[in-house]
Structures are given as C-alpha cells and as structure tokens.
Chain A
C-alpha cells in the first residue's frame, strides 16, 4: 500500500511538472529573469502547491502522530540556520539559474528521452555523493 501511494504521488508530481510548465527550462529561466522580460507565471506553481498543502498540513496533518499507514510523521526541524544551509542554498541557486533545471524537472525530463538530462542527473548524483562522503568524514 505504501508503495502504491508513492507511485500515485509520483504520477501526480510528474503530471504537475508538465501542466504547470516547470518542466520547461526556458520558462523557468524566464521566471528567474526578473530584470529582463519577466514571466511571473511560474510563481503560481508554488502558490498552487501551497494552497493545497499548507492548510491541510496546518489544520490536519500536523495534529497526527502517525501517517494513515502507521508511519511516524516527520518532525519540523529545529530552526537552526548554519553555514551549510546558506552555502548549500547559494550553490543550488547558481546551478538552478545556470540552466533552469532543479531536481523535480530534471527527473520529469527523463520522459523526453534527451541524453543531456541523463548527464545532468549523473552530475547531480555525483555532487550528492561527494557531500555524503564529506559528511561521513566529519
């Protein structure tokens, strides 16, 4: 059952990437280009997602100790702002702004069968692996 719900959530997420336009790097770059011909439409992706997720979390899910399938609900992390969070967010922003691809669209773009996205994902996995190695080293 857990696996079926994961698949369903993935299907909805992938469909959302296409319908919203987030899957198109040119649209994403147009959204990030606030000093140029700014295309603000993609801001509505986040608004739409939050309109659905935020009230249902705040009024309902946050009261639950367990998920409907009996898994523990994840805690909201303690508000600890450190250099790793800030530095990571800066690096991520540079990578995102460079081509207009963040992880959600990257995975969804596999469906287009273009080999460039496989190279992007391979490099992304390498970056994640390097950080994992560095964390374990500390």
Chain B
C-alpha cells in the first residue's frame, strides 16, 4: 500500500516535470485532450511527437518495469467503450481540457476556470462510479 503511494507520487512528479518542460521550452500546455484535438490541423508536428513520446514512454516503462499490462474491458462491450470515449471527447472539448490540462496545468497556474472544471469533473466521475457500482 505504502509502495503504491510512493509510486503514484513519483509518477505524478514525472507528469509534472513533463508539463514543466513543455511550458518552459515550448510555451505549450501539456493538456492531453487539447494536444489530441489540435493534432489534425496543419503544422502541428510537436503534438504528434508528444503523443508518440507518450506511447513509447509508457511502452518502454511497461516492458522495463515488468508492470502487468492493464486490462481493458473486452471489445465485445463495444457500445460501452464507444459511449465512454464519445463522452470524454465531447466533454473535454466543451470544457477545454481534461485531467492534465485543467487538473495539473490549470490548477498549477491557479486558473479559476480550471479549479472549477476539475472539481466538477471529479465529482461527476465519482457520482458515475457510485451509480454504476452501487446502484445499478
């Protein structure tokens, strides 16, 4: 249990360092929903390199660290997967950010919009889990 807390803290610090580097050198916000949403416009090579880096970074770490491969829901539950993905896409685009953009970069810059958004999506996600696990 203590080890899990330490790993969460260390992993979180890496994420914070990533956000710091992207802002300090490139003047960009490390918000994943924003980086994904803007990737299809012209001249956005930096977004693609960031995303490729994420996949390579997690792949190498999963392999080197001998972490168990996280299990996803089975593909035959496709309506559930598609609905969750769609809601995440709609919601993050409407709110202009997700867990990283609002939760870390926005809160870290004391943006009132981000503090409000982060509180709302955390409560909304907790209520969703409560309904799904304990009421359905």
Chain A residues near B (Cβ < 8 Å): 1-3, 5-26, 29, 32-36, 39, 41-54, 56-58, 61-62, 66-69, 71-74, 76-77, 79-81, 84-99, 101-104, 106-112, 114-117, 119-132
Contacts and interface: CB of A to CB of B under 8 A. Distances in A.
Interface string B18-36: 1111111111111011001
**Interface residue SS majority, chain B:** helix
Contacts of A95: 83-91
B61 A18 contact: yes
A124 B109 contact: no
A15 B14 contact: yes
B116 A98 contact: no
Given A24-B70, A97-B129, A111-B58, A44 B99 contact: no
B25 A5 contact: yes
A73 B8 CA distance: 29
A109 B91 CA distance: 20
Interface string B90-129: 1111111011101111011111110011101111111111
B86 A124 contact: yes
A93 B32 contact: no
A46 B107 CA distance: 10
B111 A76 contact: yes
A30 B50 CA distance: 28
B51 A107 contact: yes
B21 A57 contact: no
